[in-house]
Structure 1
Amino acid sequence: MPIARLTSRALVRVSGPDARPFLHNLLTQDVETLKPGDLRFGALLSPPGRLLFDLFLWGEADGVTLDVAAGRRDALIQRLTLYRLRAKVNVAADERPVFASWPGVAAGFTVDPRLSELGGRALGDQPADADEDDWHDHRLRVGAPDPDADGGSDRAYPIEANFDLLNGVDFRKGCFVGQETTSRMKRRGEIKKRMLPIAFHGPPPPPGAEVLNGELRAGEVLTGRNGAAIALMRLDRLEGALTVDGRPVQARRPEWMSR
């Protein structure tokens, strides 16, 4: 079973007596019930409801460890510090590495809270025998978007990035930053676009390339590898002949989207 260090991810430790209620009021996920050893998936949104940070939340005895895109860690620390006000919390970088195993869950790993098909995750040194590119190849086969790795995270709404289908939003927990827009989109079914896998022959189109359905714009390529990519697609224009830069492509809804 391959194990890879995810160098694109980094950790932020939030500790102190107010750590859980502090994060619970900010994030899309229920933090109050997060027990030591638990792992959940969530996000911190902008007040208008767009994605700022996709996060994995690790329950610790004295707080919560957040797994965030490495290039965004300092921005997350700054944002949480601004929100802290009088809360009794400490926000600091945690230098432990992040690892993934797939397609199963290696010993000492915790199942990925988004999908069991994505394998497991672990913090701290592990005997890696694969690299992060191998992990992303697997993720694209599963059809699961990674908002930061795939780009467009600062423009997308969490539901467009399938957070509602990947256990990334707890709609029962009450308020969080950006909650009004997120709940309204889900409740009213105002979901016009989603991140979906696309398949093609050859190298990936450049990020930002248009997916066309005939002459109509059907989506935008976010990122990819040979033969596969993630695109932000209009759900009403999936049927028919799709092309990118004149090449035929196929968009698909992964099986897990209909569970």
Structure 2
Amino acid sequence: MSSSKTNECYLLYCNSSAQFESSLNKSNWPDKFCDCDYTFDPSTRVPSSYYIVMLNAPTQWDVANFCDELKLQYKTIIKGERLYVRGARPIPKIRIDFSSNKELLGILQSKRMLLNDENTSYPIEPYLAPPRILRCYICQQYDDHIAAHCPNKDKSICFKCGEQHQYNPECQNKICCVHCKGDHLAGNPNCPKKIETRELKKFQAKPSTLPSSYSVNSNKWTGNSAQHLLGNSSATSRQINNNVNKNDYPLQLLDRMHSNIQSVLQQQVELNRRLKEQTIKLNCHAN
């Protein structure tokens, strides 16, 4: 409930996507509460879980017109926004907001979005909100605790000079970041330590592309790679002789090759993930 005595209002939080979508429909709300009139203001923003990112969208396209075309196929689209990188440089990605989690899940499963002609499609990926980096205003530590729970309340660090003294917004010492010793205030968006913390948090939040049942140490190739890709020739000949139709053998061979190729791709994804994780740790130690 609002603490304001002149404007009595309630801020409501939803427990599920179904509850959230139901709350947006004004027809689901009663005319009065306890015989009292009231006004209902729906949220102007939807949670980031209702966003997806469309890839390969040329930067010269008008996003509003393009989303109008998409709405002919997907009725619950609210809007679309062009994504940018540093320096306000547009990239070929569009963030699309939905009002229906059901339709969104169907798109994520198909991994593509169709235009109204149903012949043109674009790949999509889940939207990952930029990670929020918390900073304790007492000891200036990143992403560990907030000032209310700071274990170092008697050893406060100045956000301006990086030295240990009580909070003083008029501190006249030389500006120095406590994290990287640079000539900026603690919490500066361009601080290398803050950028590193954000990148690490972004990497940890990224969903893995491997199935949960996949084992890193399973099905590793040793010896002759051709045998792993095509199978053992002697074993194959025995399989053919064991009442297996020879006409089905090429299909079985292709299936086996496809399965082994998928295994190689999974191992490559896992290797890339581990290399990226080790690179982040090395940069951390270097800093």
TM-score, normalised by the number of residues in structure 2: 0.23
The structure in which a higher percent of residues are strand is 1
Which structure: larger Rg?
2
Tell me which of the two structures has the higher relative contact order, counting C-alpha pairs closer than 8 angstroms and 6 or more residues apart: 1
Structure with greater proportional helix content:
2
Question: Scaled by the length of structure 1, what TM-score is found?
Answer: 0.25
